[in-house]
Amino acid sequence: MIRPHGGVLINRIVDSQKKKEILDKLNYSVKILLNKRHISDIEMIAQGAFSPLKGFMCKKDYESVLKDMRLSSGIVWSLPITLDVNKEVANNIKEGEFVFLKDEDDFLVAALKVEEKFEYDKKKEAILVYRTDDEKHPGVARLYSQGEVYLGGEIFVLRLTEHKDFANYRFTPKQTREIFKTKNWRTVVGFQTRNPIHRAHEYIIKCALEVVDGVFIHPIVGETKQDDIPAEVRIKCYEVLIENYFPKDRVVLCVNPAYMRYAGPREAIFHAIVRKNYGCTHFIVGRDHAGVGNYYGPYDAQKIFYEFKPEELEITPLFFENTFYCMKCNGMASYKTCPHTDNDRIILSGTKVRKMLQDEEVPPVEFTRPEIANILIDYTKNKLT
């Protein structure tokens, strides 16, 4: 089985003895209120999905990631994983001490051993990570709204947030690795998605299944843009597709607690590393992976993989062109395989699909499966009423 990134699958959930030692410091420590993004990152770090990270980045790692897409150790890592606070909070924190991290319900989630606190340049981070400082970009807008100081150091997780949704699909990297092992899958392809699955996605996944043992469908259920389809609707779509159109013994559906950063090429590398930690040997990278608006070229997220040696990433990217149904080919195809013109292809814009759903009109079967279209129509109808 593929090694975790950095060689070791991290676990930052403390045992009862360590928990007692940490809680004894509670009355003397600053308490920080986390937002949903912070909690998502803590969960990913705690369970090893962000291996080899043991906590939030200190300045040396942070600056190395921005400049070179590597940790200071030289290990490939493309996005900063940071904990921000405002200056007023930072002024009450001393380096070398513990701070406690609590959620919106005032429950203690983790303790952070503050190795370092440092100010940073938001515009510089925006340009290097997102390739823009335009506040209309959702990742840039989030960055500009956060605190002015980063706290770096290892985390000690006391209590993971309890999730009441998608209980059947919540697996840790350790668990998915055991699942793949039980299924005797030597090769596993990860499929990243934040959108409802349609025929183009189905075609890409099935192409990948021709060369690997199993597929790991791993939709993000953390925070996304306000106009993205909600996770519960997307999960219903995946369930229908798996039930009716995939060999069930070759598919594992698991939710990804991470949130979308919309960082395009850098996030494609990040998504691949995370799936490697879950046990994937291959990773699908399609058109405009993790993109938003027109901030990235359509295949920039594929080109970035060539900046690293295969042995540095270990996970193998599978690149796919834009796919569609061609009426002359009488089947699904891509620009690589179809010689015909766009007039022969069924390619629907997102705007057109949304209009069809609002009008309770089922998009053509060549674009999406009717069962999935009906789920989306019901969602759109309920949203509008």
pLDDT digit string, tens, across residues 237-270: 999 999 999 999 999 999 999 999 999 999 999 9
- Asked if the model's pLDDT at residue 385 lies above 90, the reply is no
Count Cβ atoms below 10 Å from residue 167 Cβ, excluding itself.
9
pLDDT digit string, tens, across residues 108-139: 999 999 999 999 999 999 999 999 999 999 99
Average predicted confidence (pLDDT) for the chain: 94
Q: What separation, in Å, do the N-terminal and C-terminal C-alpha atoms of the chain show?
A: 49
- pLDDT bucket at 196, cuts 50 / 70 / 90: confident
Active site residue 294: no
What is the DSSP code (8-state) at residue 379? H
For the chain, the structural domain boundaries read: 16-157, 167-256+260-384
**Spatial contact of 2 and 274, defined as CB atoms under 8 Å apart:** no
Percent of the chain with pLDDT over 90: 81
Positive/negative CA dihedral, 331, 335, 340, 342: positive
pLDDT at residue 28, as a whole number:
74
Catalytic residue among 12, 177, 194, 266: 194
Count Cβ atoms below 10 Å from residue 135 Cβ, excluding itself.
13
pLDDT at residue 384, as a whole number:
61
Active site residue 374: no
pLDDT at residue 383, as a whole number:
76
Q: Which amino acid is at 125?
A: E
Q: What DSSP string runs through 117-134? A: EEE--HHHHHHHHHS---
Positive/negative CA dihedral, 113, 52, 160, 85: positive
CATH topology of domain 16-157: Sulfate adenylyltransferase (3.10.400)
The b/e string for 235-251 (b: 16+ C-beta within 10 A; e otherwise) is bbbbbbbbeeebeeeeb
Q: Which of 284, 257, 271, 250 is nearest to 180 (CA)?
A: 250
CATH of 167-256+260-384 among 1.10.357.10, 3.40.50.620, 3.30.1490.20, 3.60.21.10: 3.40.50.620
- pLDDT bucket at 357, cuts 50 / 70 / 90: confident
pLDDT digit string, tens, across residues 8-18: 999 999 999 99
Residue that wins the pLDDT comparison between 54 and 355:
54
pLDDT at residue 227, as a whole number:
75
Lowest mean pLDDT among 89-103, 216-230, 326-340, 349-363: 349-363
pLDDT digit string, tens, across residues 78-88: 999 999 999 99
Catalytic residue among 70, 142, 170, 195: 195
Preceding omega of 364 cis (within 30 degrees of 0)? no
pLDDT digit string, tens, across residues 133-153: 999 999 999 999 999 999 999
pLDDT digit string, tens, across residues 266-287: 999 999 999 999 999 999 999 8
Cα–Cα distance, 95 to 87 (Å, whole number): 14
**Spatial contact of 78 and 266, defined as CB atoms under 8 Å apart:** yes
What would the mean pLDDT of 160-185 be, rounded to a whole number?
A: 94
pLDDT digit string, tens, across residues 2-43: 999 999 999 999 999 999 988 888 777 899 999 999 999 999
Here the contacts of 69-74 (C-beta below 8 Å, separation 24 or greater) are 69/266, 69/269, 69/307
Instruction: Order the strands of the 188-193 sheet from edge to edge.
Output: 251-253, 214-219, 188-193, 282-285, 316-319
Mapped onto helix, strand or coil, the DSSP state of residue 91 is coil
**pTM for this model (two decimals):** 0.95
- Asked if the model's pLDDT at residue 224 lies above 90, the reply is no
Cα–Cα distance, 38 to 239 (Å, whole number): 29
| Helix, strand, coil fractions of the chain, as percent rounded to 5 | 40, 20, 45
Give the pairing type, strands 149-157 and 345-346: unpaired
Q: What are the tokens at 195?
A: 């959108």
What would the mean pLDDT of 330-358 be, rounded to a whole number?
A: 87
Q: What are the tokens at 214?
A: 């199993």
pLDDT at residue 359, as a whole number:
86
Q: Which position has the token pair 């009008």?
A: 359
Cα–Cα distance, 57 to 80 (Å, whole number): 7
Mapped onto helix, strand or coil, the DSSP state of residue 26 is helix
